[in-house]
Amino acid sequence: MTAIGEPLVRRDGARKVTGSATYAYETPADAPLFCHPVQATVARGRISAIHTAEAEVLDGVLDVITYRTAERLASTEDAELALLQDREVAFRGQVIGLVVAETSEIARHGAELVVVDYLEHEHDTELSAERDDLYKPEKVNPAFPADTGTGDVDAAMASADVTVEQTYRTAMYHNNPLEPHATTALWDDDFLTLWDSTQGVHPSRKAVAKVFGLPAERVRVVCPFVGGGFGSKGLPHANVVLAAMAARAHPGRPVKLALTRQQMFSLAGYRTPTIQKMRLGATRDGELTALGLDVVEQTSRIKEFAEQTALPSRMMYAAPNRRTTHRLAALDVPVPSWMRAPGECPGMFGPEVAMDELAYELGLDPVELRVRNEPEVDPESGNPFSSRHLVECLREGARRFGWDSRDPRPGVRLEDGWLVGTGVAASVYPSSTRAGTTARVRFSQGRYAVEIGAADLGTGAWTVLPQIAADALDVPVEEIDIRIGDTDYPVAAVAGGSAGTATWGSAIVEAARTFRDKFGRDPADGDEADATTTDNPARKKYAMYAFGAQFAEARVHADTGEIRVPRLLGVFAAGRIINPRTARSQFLGGMTMGLSMALHEESVWDPRFGQVVNHDLAEYHVSVNADVDDIQAHWLDEEDAHVNALGAKGIGEIGIVGTAAAVVNAVFHATGVRVRELPVTLDKVLPALP
Amino acid sequence: MKPFAYDSPTDAVTAVRAVADDPSAVFLAGGTNLVDHLKLGIARPGRVVDVTGLTSTEITESDGGLSIGAGVRNSDLAADPRVRSRYPVLAESLLAGASGQLRNMATTGGNPLQRTRCVYFQDVTTPCNKRTPGSGCSAIGGYTRYHAILGASEHCVATHPSDMAVALAALGASVRVLGPDGERTIPFTELHRLPGDSPEKDTVLGHGELITAIDLPAPPGGRQRYRKVRDRASYAFALVSVAAVLDVADGTIRDARVAFGGVAHKPWRAWQAEDALRGARVSDAVFREAAEAELAQAEPVPGTEFKVPLLTRTLVSVLRELT
């Protein structure tokens, strides 16, 4: 009897589709208050006057909190969370006031009535690779060296048979989860309760407790359901601190705050745009001799976030001469943060398009080129891979996709007025398990309760964790109750880095073992045991990654240049799959988001104002149903004894990695037009159409 | 959102008077555009007069054509068998617009009056002559992917977003209007205006004038097509669109009606392209010349240059399909 591997339906599915699941903003509350932020309308400056009287006298407004009246926070170390502490404006859209009122409508109206005078300073918000103030960060997210190198790339490029040297650009992207960032806060008897939409209740508690100078025990964070996050809810942003501030100012009354879609474009993180200068050198038979990637990206002047864009290039292919660098521009812009596969996602765009360009230069099949450059060990660390089945993914994907009959010539297939092409790219995502997560198992009235402060941001934790617990305890999955989404349960790592299930699951497996060791198979009512994850010693000896191969078919209308992708197929090697149903959703979701990145998504920056101007979902396009046709995810039966006790690798992020490159490579094959700047839109291919 | 008075009168004459008597009043029909504007602070009316149910929700035969009540929902209009068989260009344009949910709310009277989706118009923190006359045009020098190449001015380069309106312009529809001084009829092509130096005025309607119906003349001869070119397959505004009716006999074009969307402050009836087509033998070269005749007057701003070849190619593509 094993629950792992069964395609169980989501335990929370019916509640979500019938609307009975309560999200943070919907937390039942007596006589709640509502907040609406006032945002800066200059990109840089100083508030010279803030006129709140008109808002304050509005019927139903309780107060308008500004830098003059806000409590002094205990810690302002994190500048993003140091809200309303002074009169400086660091980016357009920064919160400079908060209206607290009896209804959300009154709060919003009150915010409109606040008039602010600024001493405006010149602002600088334009990213370019030619800036003279680019700097090397001490580390890139979360703790990797900014630069690495071995051998001599310049010399190897100079002596290579064939080279590709191109600059690729990815756009600025916003996470845009369906549920906005939202919080209900209640301050009562020196105790702060936050019902917050978060990917991690414990990390959120830790950050908020620090900001307010509270012991963690006096903060409770509750989050049973999350309407998506894509990384943006991995760390608390302004909304949490604002709601908590308002609650402290109005003790005993619950306070609700939900960001509007527009506000999320400046207050909830985003993926930095990247400029990727890529160099590949190879022998005539396709063996890489040089691989260089120099990345330029942006961060906010008030808080550094250095996306680790060059990381996958360090380990993906064998090449004796390699060099990767990251340089940052610190601009007067909102604070960038995590977005689904930070680093790996943008970082596989340039390299995997460059590999396609190299394949054409060599007259070699792009699948074959990748196969020829498989490293025997991790080129960066020299360690063997705990498991690496990229070649199998490529071969299996090619077989399923019908790659073998491919005519490599670009721009020669016209079907019903559409130019047709196919493309491939590889995917990779690190496989990790975090130390310090605790799970507790308790027996009560014939059932097992598993408690862990995990968060289900839509990935299926409510469903897969019982599967893991059932097998670890060797009981039917129906006998398991799972309790997550609350700091009252044991401390757990964030749902991020595709490490949630592996980490929480490892703790559950350990706790189950401990439980059985202590109480045997016939426990008494109330018996309980817990266990905490530790560092995996195998991590020092093995490089641990999930791999995948992405195939795309692109159709480009020969008259109008419209681009559609009727087929996407991914094959992944991601360790043991806990639940095929929820896993497939993860892969397909990631691939859809990658398609979206390829064709649609772009936060359009207007440097005159210093803001994203297409800041709503009518103008910021994501792929919608009509854009997604035949999309398939498959996986290999991969076993990996080293990654963790489950043999499971993360799957939340690898689906987005490589998809955009596969699509752009397919567009090249369809049209002969090589687009090196995302998204690929019809105006970029139009001039070259017949 | 600024608080406002809400009226729901029981007849159209009362509704018209209510708006005409109050300079701060506006009509509310399906609300798919106005409600957004209320939230965003773009519209700050003192009074909202709900006209839902005050105008006809029927489609009736009229002089060989159809009369469409202003209260007819977009999804019902698109599904009407008479519209689908006799005016397919209209049905196609409706189905190309917005999303199913929005089409269920949007009305015949309201759809042509939706305002531009220019991102600067939509954001009250940026200057916009259409929203705040005299404040400047932020689109010029900014993000212009959805902006005009025809009939724009130095004060405004916004486009009209409706798909339905493009088909109505091509079909020679007319608009029946009830105002404080009684009824009048306006040819559809004269309903919207170019920005000139007063871009804040989208149409020729006076304050308090209410669209009560849109009349379609008898269906034109020939074949019809609405083609919308956009950045994703659904739920996106047109980069360019073409509504075309082409009547061809023995390889010669007897009649042509063409209108463009996504390229001007109004649905753009392409009179010059039509003149170039009428009487000509069908060929790609003729189609291209027709597009060029119309687009000789195009004045793209930075960021919209691609629309000239795109619209040319789209028109050729559509006309080719109709022959």
Q: How many helices (H) and strands (E) does chain B have?
A: 10, 12
Amino acid type, B31: G
Of the candidates B143, B237, B314, the beta carbon closest to that of A604 is on B143
Identity of the residue numbered A626: A
Total Cβ atoms within 10 A of residue B107: 26
| Residue in B3, B125, B234 nearest the CB of A109 | B3
Would you call A237 an interface residue with chain B, using a CB distance cutoff of 8 Å?
no
Q: What percent of chain B has pLDDT over 70?
A: 100
Are A662 and A597 in contact by the 8 Å Cβ rule? The answer is no
Which residues on neighbouring strands pair with residue A403, listed in sequence order? none
pLDDT per residue as tens digits for the range B128-145:
999 999 999 999 999 999
Interhelix angle A580-599/A659-671, nearest 10 degrees: 50
The number of beta carbons lying within 10 Å of the beta carbon of residue A138 is: 10
CA distance A516 to A519: 5
Please tell me the distance in Å from A261's CA to the nearest CA on chain B.
11
Test the B interface: residue of A559, A614, A680 with most B CBs within 10 Å: A559
Tell me which chain B residue has its CA closest to the CA of residue A613. B119
Q: Would you kindly state where each structural domain of chain A is located, as residue ranges?
A: 31-122+176-267, 148-172+271-431+541-688, 434-535
Extract the residue ranges of chain B whose pLDDT is less than 70.
none
Mean pLDDT (whole number) for A320-345: 98
Could you tell me if A616 lies within 8 Å of chain B, comparing CB atoms? yes
Mean pLDDT, residues A22-26 taken together = 96
Give the end-to-end CA distance of chain A in Å, rounded to a whole number: 61
Q: What is the spatial distance between Cα A451 and Cα A509, in angstroms, rounded to a whole number? A: 12
* Facing B310 at nearest CB: one of A564, A618, A686: A686
| Residue A180: per-residue pLDDT | 97
Local confidence band at A625 (pLDDT 50, 70, 90 cut-offs): very high
Inter-chain contact B309–A112, Cβ cutoff 8 Å? Answer: no
Tokens, residue A273: 């745009």
- Residues A426, A547: contact at Cβ < 8 Å? yes
Sequence length of chain A is 690
User: Does domain A434-535 match CATH 3.40.47.10?
Assistant: no
Q: Distance from B101 to chain A by nearest Cα, in Å?
A: 14
pLDDT value at A73 more than 80: yes
Q: Which chain B residues have a beta carbon less than 8 Å from that of A618?
A: 117, 237
Q: Which residues of A are catalytic?
A: 653
DSSP code string of A571-582:
EEE-B--S-HHH
Return the residue of B nearest to A559 by Cα.
B313
Is B193 within a domain? no
For B152-211, write each residue's pLDDT tens digit: 999 999 999 999 999 999 999 999 999 999 999 999 999 999 999 999 999 999 999 999
Let me know if domain A148-172+271-431+541-688 sits in CATH 3.30.365.10.
yes
Q: Which of B99, B118, B123 should we substitute to test contact with A (largest number of A Cβ atoms within 10 Å)? A: B123
Structure tokens at B117: 């989706």
A625 contacts on B by Cβ (under 8 Å): 234
Q: How many residues does chain B have?
A: 323
Q: Supply the pLDDT for residue B1.
A: 84
List chain B residues with CB under 8 Å of A564.
233
Pairing mode, if any, of strands A274-282 and A162-170? antiparallel
Residue A30 has pLDDT above 70, yes or no: yes
Contact A555, A565 (CB under 8 A): yes
Number of A to B CB contacts under 8 A, please give it: 88
| A346-355 per-position pLDDT tens digit | 999 999 999 9
3-class secondary-structure state, position B100: helix
pLDDT per position as a tens digit, A170-196: 999 999 999 999 999 999 999 999 999
Q: Are A438 and A491 in contact (CB under 8 A)?
A: yes
Which of A112, A600, A618 lies closest to B117 in CB terms? Answer: A618
B119 and A614 in contact (C-beta within 8 Å)? yes
Residues of B with CB under 8 A from a CB of A: 1-3, 39, 41, 117, 119-120, 122-123, 125-126, 138, 141-143, 145, 229-237, 239, 306, 309-310, 313-314, 316-317
With tokens 């064939």, the residue in question is: A162
For residue A360, give the amino acid letter: Y
Quote the distance between the C-alpha of residue A165 and its chain's center. Answer: 29
Contact A600 B310 (CB under 8 A): no
Between CA B296 and CA B271 the distance in angstroms is: 13
Q: Which residues of B touch A687 (CB under 8 A)?
A: 309
The domain in which residue B26 lies consists of: 5-50
Residue carrying the six token digits 């269920």: B104
pLDDT single digits (tens) A372-424: 999 999 999 999 999 999 999 999 999 999 999 999 999 999 999 999 999 99
φ, ψ of residue A665 to 5 degrees: the values are: -65, -35
Question: Is residue B18 included in any domain, yes or no?
Answer: yes
Counting residues of chain A whose pLDDT is more than 90, the rounded percentage is 100
The answer to whether the CB atoms of B310 and A613 lie below 8 A apart is no
Give chain B's end-to-end CA distance (angstroms, integer): 52
Is residue A1's pLDDT more than 70? no
B138 and A608: CB-CB below 8 Å? Answer: yes
Q: For residue B22, what is the domain's CATH number?
A: 3.30.43
Contact A621 B231 (CB under 8 A): yes
Chain B residues lying within 8 Å of A604, measured CB to CB = 119, 143, 145
Q: What is the pLDDT averaged over residues A250-274?
A: 98
Provide mean pLDDT across the span A609-619.
97
B120 contacts on A by Cβ (under 8 Å): 613
Nearest to B231 among A105, A600, A615 (CB): A600
Q: What is the average pLDDT value for chain A, to the nearest integer?
A: 97
CATH number at residue B267: 3.30.390.50
What is the rounded CA–CA span in Å between residue B36 and residue B59? 28
Residue-wise DSSP of B286-311 = HHHHHHHHHHTT--PPTT-TTHHHHH
Residue A461: predicted pLDDT: 98
* Nearest chain A CA: its distance from B312 CA (Å): 9
Task: Return the number of other C-beta atoms located less than 10 Å from residue B67's C-beta.
Answer: 18
Give A 307-346 residues with CB within 8 A of chain B. Answer: none
In a domain, B15, yes or no: yes
Residues of A with Cβ-Cβ distance to B239 under 8 angstroms: 682
Test A613 with B313 for CB contact under 8 angstroms. Answer: no
Q: Are residues A560 and B1, on separate chains, in Cβ contact within 8 Å?
A: no
pLDDT at B208: 98
**CA–CA separation, A402 and A421 (whole Å):** 12
CB contact under 8 A, B232 and A618: no
- Rounded (5°) CA angle B87-B90-B96: 140
Instruction: Give which of B44, B235, B307, B319 to mutate to test A binding, by max A Cβ within 10 Å.
Output: B235
The C-alpha atoms of residue B88 and residue B81 are separated, in whole angstroms, by 10
B231/A682 CB distance under 8 A: yes
Q: Does domain A31-122+176-267 have CATH number 3.40.50.720?
A: no
